[in-house]
Structure 1
Amino acid sequence: MDNNLTGTKTNNAYAQNHSVVDEDIDLRELFSIIWQGKWIVIIITALFAIASVVYAIKQPNIYRATTLLAPVSDQSGAGGLAKMAGQFGGLASLAGINLGAGGTDKTGLALEVLQSRRFIESFIVEHQLLVPLIAAKNWNAVNNELLLDDELYNAETKTWIREVKAPKTAEPSTWEAYKAFKKVLSVNTDKETGMITLAIEHHSPEIAKQWLLWLVSDINETMRDQDKLEAKSSIEYLAKKLQETQLADMKTVFYQLIEEQTKTIMLAEVAQEYVVKTIDPANAPDEKAHPKRALIVILITLLGLVLSIMCTLLHYFTKNKLL
């Protein structure tokens, strides 16, 4: 029995050693095959390297402008309305008025509005961004001039000449403009500090900066106008209810509600940065954000190396199999 066990161990050890030897032989054979086809590997890798350099050089620079924003403290009377909701909510409900359960996150609402299709489409039309958004292909840093793609837009006649299939038209639709703008816009909120970072990427750093300035100004203006309109409508409604009721307690509620809504209008009129406040204003960046040309060259060259090795091995094994 001991002899059988000893024999089994010997066979296992032999099998393991034999496997290691086979692996060494296989690896040596692979390296030998690659070495035999080294010129193919070198030539293909060199071609990929040259092509990667040409491709990387032709890629236009993309600049990323950013601005840091902070939420503006709620001074519009939402806190007062929340307090009144707890104090007079039951009484007001008897008159068919809903004071609400609490305040709303105006900053969060503003960010959602800023990224909405309606706001972005209106923003593009108001500031005439369609051409620099869709037709831009590069930027001349010396002359600070935006270069347009002459296959898409004729700068002399100011007409769109791009060739597209129906239902698209030569001039990009508002939906196309919206999708293009969403690609260059990024909005990030720090969960710990509440700070908001807006960023725009574009061929021209000056254009990226200007768009950010307009975005901050327009979202504050949009939210201001919206709150003013709602407050004025509320005042009209409350004034009408005030005339209809004969209850002293209800009149007190209406007067206080009108006061809160009047505060909202007053603060909206005087506050320049109504919803978000600029902490670090947008500035035209000096350094590009994209492309990473060195990384492009390295990755494409490595791809060429891998493909050349695969071609060499495939050629060798195919040739031997046929023989």
Structure 2
Amino acid sequence: MSEMEDKAFNTKSAPFYYPAPRIIDSEIDLRAIFSVLWAGKWWIVLCMIFSVLAGGSYILFSHKIYESQVLVAPISDDQQMGMASVLNSQFGGLASLAGINLGKGNTDKTILALQVLQSRKFIGGFILRHHLMVPVMAINGWDKNSNEFSFKTSVYDPVKKQWLVKDGESQEPTLLEATQHFLKKIMVVKLDSDTGMVTVTVRFYSPYITERWATWLVADLNDEIRQQDMLEAQSRIAYLNNQLNQTSLADSRNMLYQLIEQQTKTLMLTKVSKEYVFKTVDPAVVDIDEIRPQKIVVMIASVILGLVLGMSFIFIRHQIRK
């Protein structure tokens, strides 16, 4: 092998490198962006002013919504037993209340009461009982200064106090429509699972109406459950008395006497207190501070919207001019 070949054989070849790719500058030139925005700063200011004025107009002319809340606590079995013991002292022939079965546990009665409160039957009866069809379905605003309501004149005539008729059809809503509107838009019920407390919230155009309706709801619910328990107790007593007349066995008669005694106590409990299921802890009050529209939120959103619109307009105009 020649000297040149040997030198070429023993020489290590240089490593091969791929050419580096061309670097494309994709970074945003912040100074250029700032320059574009600064050139159109007055457009941005104008958009923000317009947006703030629009937000202020919305706050000024939109219908205000107020709310009232009433906090209630379930009547415990101990409270009911305490009331029954007072009755027991007045009826010496009645046995001690230590083992009395009122038919429902406290938890079951609370759940039942909450389901009744949010049922279409109860709310429909509430609307009819207090003549709330027009307030619920025809009122769409309240003037704080004059204390007067505004009405949906497209469906109701406040002067003649009657629902309008269009194309031969009355615009008066059905009870089901009013009930669904009340459940979805006006009343909110929340149960605190930790404490067992229940908050009933009513939202409407007038703070005086919300306070009144919230109070009525709790009172009517207590009365509704009390009436149900009263009718059930009366029906059971009548049935047990009938069974008592048909049996002559001493053991059976003693058992029936005990059952009648229990149902008699239940019947008496329904007549003791108006707060039968729920006791009012914090009553509803008239709160003149509206919950909607939320002024601070609306104004902040207006400023942000104006800023975004202004910047978008400046960038679009800059791209078009390119």
Match for residue 179 of structure 2?
178
Match for residue 304 of structure 1?
306
- Structure 1 residues 254-293: Cα deviation after superposition (integer angstroms, max 9, x where no partner): 1111111111111101222111111122111132222112
Q: Distance in 2 between matches of 1:154 and 1:100?
A: 50
Question: Which one has the largest radius of gyration?
Answer: 2
Matching residue within 115, 134, 147 for 1:144? 147
Does the 8 Å CA contact 1:59/1:291 hold for their aligned counterparts?
yes
**TM-score (norm: length of structure 2):** 0.79
Q: Which amino acid in 1 is paired with 2:254?
A: T
Match for residue 50 of structure 2?
47
Shift of 1:100: 7.9
Q: Which runs of 5+ in 2 are unaligned?
A: 1-11, 85-95
Q: Which amino acid in 1 is paired with 2:263?
A: Q
Q: Distance in 2 between matches of 1:53 and 1:101?
A: 54
Does the 8 Å CA contact 1:151/1:162 hold for their aligned counterparts?
no
| Shift in alpha-carbon separation, 1:162–1:206, aligned structure 2, 3 A | farther
Q: Distance in 1 between matches of 2:120 and 2:176?
A: 8
SS in 1 for 2:153: coil
SS in 1 for 2:271: helix
Q: Distance in 1 between matches of 2:201 and 2:104?
A: 35
Q: What is the 5 A alignment of 1:52-131? A: 52-74=55-77, 75=80, 105-131=108-134
Match for residue 289 of structure 1?
291
| Shift in alpha-carbon separation, 1:111–1:101, aligned structure 2, 3 A | closer
| Shift in alpha-carbon separation, 1:84–1:65, aligned structure 2, 3 A | closer
Match for residue 213 of structure 2?
211
Does the 8 Å CA contact 2:75/2:106 hold for their aligned counterparts?
no
Match for residue 27 of structure 2?
23
Q: Which amino acid in 2 is paired with 1:195?
A: M
Does the 8 Å CA contact 1:82/1:100 hold for their aligned counterparts?
no
Matching residue within 193, 196, 202 for 2:195? 193
**Percentage of matched positions with identical amino acids:** 39
Does the 8 Å CA contact 2:163/2:170 hold for their aligned counterparts?
no
Q: Distance in 2 between matches of 1:84 and 1:52?
A: 62
**TM-score (norm: length of structure 1):** 0.79
- Structure 1 residues 55-111: Cα deviation after superposition (integer angstroms, max 9, x where no partner): 12112222211111111123378xx999689xxxxxxxxxxxxx9897762122111
Does the 8 Å CA contact 2:156/2:171 hold for their aligned counterparts?
no
Does the 8 Å CA contact 1:189/1:196 hold for their aligned counterparts?
yes
Q: Distance in 1 between matches of 2:74 and 2:149?
A: 34
Matching residue within 250, 255, 258 for 2:260? 258
Q: Counting helix residues as a fraction of each chain, which structure ranks higher?
A: 1
SS in 2 for 1:314: helix
Shift of 1:196: 1.4
Q: Distance in 2 between matches of 1:243 and 1:275?
A: 34
The alignment of Structure 1 onto Structure 2 pairs a total of residues equal to 294
